[in-house]
Structure 1
């Protein structure tokens, strides 16, 4: 079992609020990108048996592997990328959604993306990859409802 690298916020809304506060601390986007990279480094590596085509997230230019465990009461996502910034994006998404119920995941929009300015500062390929990640998370939750 992999230990969660995320702070323990009670709800997805609280996680999003914490992300907004943390990113508000930084004055410019070079500092925010560095923070994203630092967050991505906190993700634990995945076991080699999870780094397969079966667990590869399609829609990302970078290599991204994602595995989900659990049921409708609690879904835990494990993911990593070969890209430092993408790993940071994964960290933020999993901080909001991992460890939550399927109902909470489906009901939670990823408002933090626009709120912290990520939507304006990601390349189109990274935006597509983030959208694919969020769609995967929602789809996995929806399947368990």
Structure 2
């Protein structure tokens, strides 16, 4: 299960011939992703387990399993900002119930990210996915 935005991203990645072009595309996505207000860059929004500074601020509209999931995010590293934008394409607009149904490793593998990220970046990406999933799961039970 993936959003339409993520499907479009996967198609773009298929069109890009080599990893350097894909890497640049991820960085460009990060540059285009809106920055977070400094006031929300607090310990509660910081994602542990990332080599870079990463903050994710969930935005949930509604209540219960059908509430709509969205988030803002930022990092001090451009590639990580891009990865946040990739995750936004993967999850934004789903119901909190559906966020948990996304097989993030499989979807991200479609982009070839697994083969080209350092171990630290891969760990950070997993930490971001876990934060998103946990937040959505908690919202689904409210």
Q: TM-score scaled by structure 1?
A: 0.87
User: In structure 1, what is the equivalent of residue 48 of structure 2?
Assistant: 58
Alignment equivalent of 2:132, drawn from 119, 137, 141: 137
Shift of residue 15, structure 1, vs aligned partner: 3.1
Alpha-carbon distance in structure 2 between the residues aligned to 1:63 and 1:74: 26
Distance change >3 Å, CA 94–CA 88, structure 1 → 2: same
- Structure 2, unaligned stretches of length 5 or more? none
Shift of residue 31, structure 1, vs aligned partner: 0.9
Shift of residue 45, structure 1, vs aligned partner: 1.0
Q: TM-score scaled by structure 2?
A: 0.89
Give the SS at the match of 2:72: strand
1:70-93 CA distance string (max 9 Å, x none): 244112211011111011111010
**Superposed counterparts of 1:1-145, under 5 Å:** 12-70=2-60, 71-72=63-64, 73-110=67-104, 111-145=106-140
Distance change >3 Å, CA 38–CA 13, structure 1 → 2: same
Alpha-carbon distance in structure 1 between the residues aligned to 2:10 and 2:55: 26
Alpha-carbon distance in structure 2 between the residues aligned to 1:13 and 1:76: 12
Please say which of residues 54-63 and 66-75 is displaced more in the overlay. 66-75
Alpha-carbon distance in structure 2 between the residues aligned to 1:16 and 1:82: 23
Shift of residue 14, structure 1, vs aligned partner: 2.8
1:31-81 CA distance string (max 9 Å, x none): 111111000011111111111222111010000011112244112211011
Shift of residue 13, structure 1, vs aligned partner: 4.0
